[in-house]
Structure 1
Amino acid sequence: MADPKGFLNTPRREWPRRPVPERAGDWDEVYVPGALLPIIGEQADRCMDCGVPFCHEACPLGNLIPEWNDLVARDDWRAASDRLHATNNFPEFTGRLCPAPCEAGCVLAINQPAVTIKNVECAVADRAWEEGFTPPRPPERLSGRTVAVIGSGPAGLAAAQQLTRAGHTVVVYERDDRLGGLMRYGIPAFKMEKRHLERRLEQMRAEGTRFRTNTAVGRDIGADRLRARHDAVVIATGATAWRELDVPGRELTGVRQAMEYLPLANRVCEGDIEVSPMSAAGHHVVIVGGGDTGADCLGTAVREGAASVTQLDIYGRPGAERDEDSEPWPTYPKIYRMSAAHEEAGELRTAPAADADARLFAASTLRLVGDGQGHVRELHLTEVDARRRPLPDRERTLPADLVLLALGFSGPDRGDGLVDGLGLELAPRGTIVRGPHFETGVPGVFAAGDAGRGQSLIVWAIAEGRAVAAAVDRYLTGGSRLPAPIGPYDRPMAV
C-alpha cells in the first residue's frame, strides 16, 4: 500500500474526455490524449490493498488489482505490466471496453467513489506497449498438435494466444475479411481505435498463431473436414443471432438491426467505402434497446449527422445511487450512467423528446408506421410500468425514418452450417451445450465465449478463452499448466 491515507486525501479523477463539439466531429477515441498518465499515479494510491480484495472476485479474470495499483503508485511500470498480463491477455481492450465490474466490487465503493481501476489498467497496458514490455512470447518447442479456433473475437483470440504459447499449432478461422470479431466491426472506433487490435494481432502472428480470414466454417470449409484436419476445435463464434422486434411494421424499409448498421460505419473508418449506405445523415433515428450496443449506435448516428436520434429503454430510469436492498455491494448495480455517446447527444440536443440525454426510459414500441410506399416514418410507443405492462393514456409518436434494433443476441448464428454440421446440441436459449470442461457432445470440440455462455462482457469472453485453452491443453496432453480463471457455469456475483 503505497500511501495509507491515499483514499482519504485524494478524490477520484477519471480520464477526461475531449470537448463534445470536437470529438463528435471525428472518429478518434473520446479521451484527451496524454491526459491519463499525469493523474494515474495518485489514483492508484487510492487503492487500500484490502485484506480481502473483492475486486478480484468481481473480475472473472482474477486480475491482481491491488498489486498492480501499488506498483503503479511506486512508478514500477514494468512490474505492473507483468502482474497485469499474468491474468489478462488484452488489457488494452478491457481497459477501454469493459464496464468495470471490479470497480463495483471495490471495498472503497462501500461509502466512497471506487478506485479508477479501469483507467489504471488502460494506463499500464498502453505504457507497456510504449516501453516494449510486451514482446512476442513464442513457445520454446512445438507439441505437434494442431488446434482450430473458429472466431477471432476476444474469446477466440485469448484461447489462440494461450494455446500457441503452450506449443500447439493454432489456426484461427474468421468469416469476415478482417480479424477481431465484434471488436473490429461492432465496436465504433471512438470507443477503441483499431490500432490497438492490429498491434496485438501482430504480436500473435510473431508468436506463431496463424489466421485465415474470409473463411466461414460450415460454408467455405466443411465442419467435418475441419474436425478431421485438427486435433481439437474451439468454437468461439460469439452470439451473433440477433433478437427481433415483433411489432406491426417491422417489415418496413428503414428498420434495420444494429449489427447491420454498425459494421458499415466501421468500414467507412477502415477506408473500404466512402459513405455508409445506411448512414443516419439527415434522418430521424430511433434506437430500440437501452444497452451498450444501442449507445454505440447513438454515438455513430451523432457523428454521421442525424437530424435527431432517440434511444428507447424499456426499463425505468435507474437512480444515481446503488439500491442496497436489491443490489447490495459488491454486486454490479444498475444505476444511471452517462456514456460518452449520451453526453454528446445530450449536449448537442439531438433528442428533444427524450427524458434525459438521448434516452426515453420505460418505453415500449407498439408499432411502426410507413409512408404508404413501404418506408418507415413513425414509431408509436407507450410508457410501461416496472413489469413492462403498458400504462393507459401514455402513448406517443416519434418521427423515424431509420429505426435501429439493438435488442441483444440469443446465441450463435446457424446460417453458416457450423452448428448443424458438427451436430452440436443447443440449449433452449440458443447457446451451445457444454460440459464442465467446456467440451461439447462432439469429442475434441469445445465451445467458449458468448457461443456457450450467451451474450456477456468482454472480460468474461477473455476469461473463457483462457479457461478453454487450459481445457484443450489438458485434452491434448493429459495435463496443463495454463490458468483456468473460470468454469463454464460461473456467473457474476448476484443476490
Structure 2
Amino acid sequence: MGKPTGFLEYERIDAAQIPPAERIRNFQEFKKPLTLEEQSLQGARCMECGVPFCQAGQMIAGMASGCPLHNLVPETNDLVYRGKWKLAYERLSKTHSFPEFTSHVCPALCEAACTCGLNGDPVSTKDNEKAIIETAWEKGWVTPKIPPVRTGKKVAVVGSGPSGLAAAQELNRKGHLVTVYERRDRVGGLLRYGIPNMKLEKSLIDRRVALMEAEGVVFQTSVDVGKDVKAKDLLKEYDRVVLACGASNPRDIKVPGRDAGNIAFAVDFLTSVTKSLLDSDLKDGSFLPVKGKHVLVIGGGDTGNDCVGTAIRLGARSVTQLEMMPKPPEGRAAGNPWPEWPKVLKTDYGQEEAIAVFGKDPRIYQTTVTEFLKDEKGNVAKARIVSLEPKKDEKTGRMNMVPVEGTQKVVEAQLVLIAAGFLGSQPYVTDAFQVELDPRTNVRTEPGAYQTSVPGVFTCGDMHRGQSLVVWAITEGRKAAEAVDHDLMGY
C-alpha cells in the first residue's frame, strides 16, 4: 500500500493553520488544507507494514489503539497516493458513516498506532480522510442511498449526536422507517452545541442531515423524550427504540461558594455561545458575559480546551485552566510503549491561542479549587486554589491526588467554567424507560451487546459506554443498528 519508499522520501506535512492572533477574531475554521497533489504525497508515506495497527481498534493497557471503526487505512492511503479519490471515498464509506466529523474532531487513534510513527512521524491519515470526504462532496459523489425496499418496521432513535445519527443512517439504509428525536432546536447533539464552530463548522452537520432526510430519515427537533413524549407512547408507536442520549450529566465541583453567580458547566456555556452564534451572530448576547473578565476553566481535556479558545474569542481579560493531574511528559515514558495511546503533553489550539495572546500556557497542573469567593452582588470574584500531590491510599492501594499543606493561594475568577467530565446519562430518560444502569450510571447491557434490560429498547454511544470520543460514538451507533436490525428481522 502506498509507495514502499514513500516514508523515506517524503516528510509529513500537515494542513496549514491561520496564526493564533488572526484566527481568534472569529469562530471560523482555521486549518487550510493541502492541495490534492500535496495530499497524495502524504498518502505515499504509508509504509505497507505487515501488521497495520492503525485499523485494529483494540484495547491495549486500557486504551484504544487504532481506529474503532476498523477503517482499512492502508487501502485508503494507497488510493490517495494514486489519486483515485472516488475509489478512496467508496472504500472509506464501507466502514465509516461520517468522515467529515472525525476528520475535524477525532484525536486520530489511527495515527497514534501508525507503524511509521514508531521511529518518526506517523502518516497524516486524518488529513487524508478529510481530503477524501471533502473531495467527494465537492465532486457530487456523496448522494442519497435510498433503500429499494422498505420493511415496514418503525424505529425511534432518541438523540441526534454522532451515535444516534450513525444508528439512524444504518437502520434507514436497511429499509426500516426511522425517526430521530432531538430535545434541542437543531440536530447534532454535542456535535452541534458541545464542539465550537472553529473546530467543527455546523454547515458540515447541516449538509449531512439534509442528505439523511433525502434518504428518508425523519427528524423531530425540540422534542424531549421522557418529558414532552412519554416512553410508553414511544414504545407503543415504534417496533424498536434506540437510546442515544449521551452522557450529559456533568460532574460538579462541590466547594464553598459554588452558588455564586457566573459559574457554569462548560457544555452549557459552549452551547449558549454556539446557539447565539447560529441565531444572531452573537448579537443577542444570550450567554454569560466574557469580555474583560478573568476566566477560570476547571478541567483539562477537549472540553476545557474548547472553553479556553471560546473565552479568548469573546474577549476574556485572562484565562487560567486548572488540571488535577501531573503534567504529562514531552515524549513516551518507558511504561507507555507504541502502539499504546501516547500519554504525552498535548498543546491544543486553545492553549496555543492563550500563549499567543497572554504570553504563557494557561494550564496549572496538580491544582484544584477549594473555595469560590463572591463579590457584593453574589457573583464569583476569586477562587482559592491549592496544589495537589499523588499519595497512595493504604487501604485501597490506589493513588489519589491530595492537597499539599501551605500551598493555597487566591486567583482572579469572574467567570468559572466547570469542565470536569460527566457522570453518565440523565436520570429522567433512563427512569422513563426503566432500563437498568451500571455503577457508573451508564445504561447496562451484556458485554459487547446493545439490548437493554427492557425488550425492544437498545442503547449506544456515551449513554452506553460513558463519556468518550466521536469515533467511538459512531462505532457504537453502527453496531447498535446491526443489533436492532437482527432483532427485527431475525437474520
Which TM bucket (shorter chain)?
Answer: over 0.9
The answer to whether the 8 Å contact 1:265/1:279 transfers is no
How far 1:357 moved relative to its partner? 1.8
**Separation in 1, partners of 2:262, 2:337:** 42
In the alignment, residue 110 of structure 1 is paired with which amino acid?
A: L
Match of 2:450 among 438, 453, 462: 438
Task: Report the count of equivalent residues.
Answer: 470
Aligned to 1:206: 214
Aligned to 1:474: 486
2:398 counterpart of 1:402:
no
Structure 2 counterparts to residues 188-267 of structure 1, below 5 A: 188-267=196-275
| SS in structure 2 of the partner of residue 369 of structure 1 | strand
**Separation in 2, partners of 1:287, 1:209:** 39
CA deviation string 1:269-304 (max 9, x = no partner): 202451233131111100000111011111100000
In the alignment, residue 305 of structure 2 is paired with which amino acid?
A: A
**Separation in 2, partners of 1:465, 1:477:** 18
**Separation in 1, partners of 2:343, 2:35:** 27
| SS in structure 2 of the partner of residue 392 of structure 1 | coil
Match of 2:329 among 316, 319, 327: 319
Match of 1:393 among 406, 429, 433: 406
Match of 1:411 among 403, 410, 424: 424
TM-score, with structure 2 as normaliser: 0.94
Aligned to 1:56: 55
In the alignment, residue 290 of structure 1 is paired with which amino acid?
A: G
Q: Which runs of 4 or more aligned residues in structure 1 lie more than 4 Å from their structure 2 counterparts after TM superposition?
A: none
The answer to whether the 8 Å contact 2:183/2:222 transfers is yes
2:164 counterpart of 1:156:
yes
Aligned to 1:106: 114
**Separation in 1, partners of 2:21, 2:270:** 22
CA deviation string 1:390-437 (max 9, x = no partner): 2233222210010000011111112xx321121111111111111242
Match of 2:279 among 271, 274, 277: 271
Structure 2 counterparts to residues 81-160 of structure 1, below 5 A: 81-160=89-168
Structure 2 counterparts to residues 155-174 of structure 1, below 5 A: 155-174=163-182
CA deviation string 1:237-287 (max 9, x = no partner): 000000010111111111111122111110122024512331311111000
Deviates more, 1:1-10 or 1:66-75: 1-10
RMSD over aligned CA atoms reads: 1.3
How far 1:38 moved relative to its partner? 4.7
In the alignment, residue 442 of structure 2 is paired with which amino acid?
A: T
Deviates more, 1:255-264 or 1:466-475: 255-264
How far 1:113 moved relative to its partner? 1.4
| SS in structure 1 of the partner of residue 404 of structure 2 | strand
2:11 counterpart of 1:3:
no
The answer to whether the 8 Å contact 1:30/1:340 transfers is no
| SS in structure 2 of the partner of residue 420 of structure 1 | helix
Match of 2:296 among 286, 295, 300: 286
Match of 1:427 among 438, 463, 472: 438
**Separation in 2, partners of 1:378, 1:426:** 38
| SS in structure 2 of the partner of residue 160 of structure 1 | helix
| SS in structure 2 of the partner of residue 380 of structure 1 | strand
2:44 counterpart of 1:45:
yes
Aligned to 1:490: none
**Separation in 2, partners of 1:426, 1:109:** 40
2:349 counterpart of 1:340:
yes
**Separation in 1, partners of 2:287, 2:477:** 35
2:18 counterpart of 1:18:
yes
The answer to whether the 8 Å contact 2:2/2:48 transfers is no
Aligned to 1:306: 316
The answer to whether the 8 Å contact 1:240/1:411 transfers is yes
How far 1:388 moved relative to its partner? 1.4
CA deviation string 1:305-355 (max 9, x = no partner): 001111111111111111131x22111122111211111111111xx6xxx
**Separation in 1, partners of 2:463, 2:111:** 27
Structure 2 counterparts to residues 443-458 of structure 1, below 5 A: 443-458=455-470
How far 1:138 moved relative to its partner? 0.7
Aligned to 1:482: none
| SS in structure 2 of the partner of residue 379 of structure 1 | strand
TM-score, with structure 1 as normaliser: 0.93
Deviates more, 1:128-137 or 1:430-439: 430-439
* Unaligned stretches of 5+ residues in structure 2: 57-65, 391-399
* Unaligned stretches of 5+ residues in structure 1: 480-495
Aligned to 1:364: 368
**Separation in 1, partners of 2:12, 2:320:** 31
The answer to whether the 8 Å contact 2:273/2:287 transfers is no
How far 1:385 moved relative to its partner? 1.7
**Separation in 2, partners of 1:363, 1:37:** 45
**Separation in 1, partners of 2:5, 2:180:** 48
Deviates more, 1:277-286 or 1:207-216: 277-286
The answer to whether the 8 Å contact 1:160/1:172 transfers is yes
**Separation in 2, partners of 1:324, 1:41:** 34
**Separation in 1, partners of 2:483, 2:93:** 20
Identity of aligned residues (%): 43
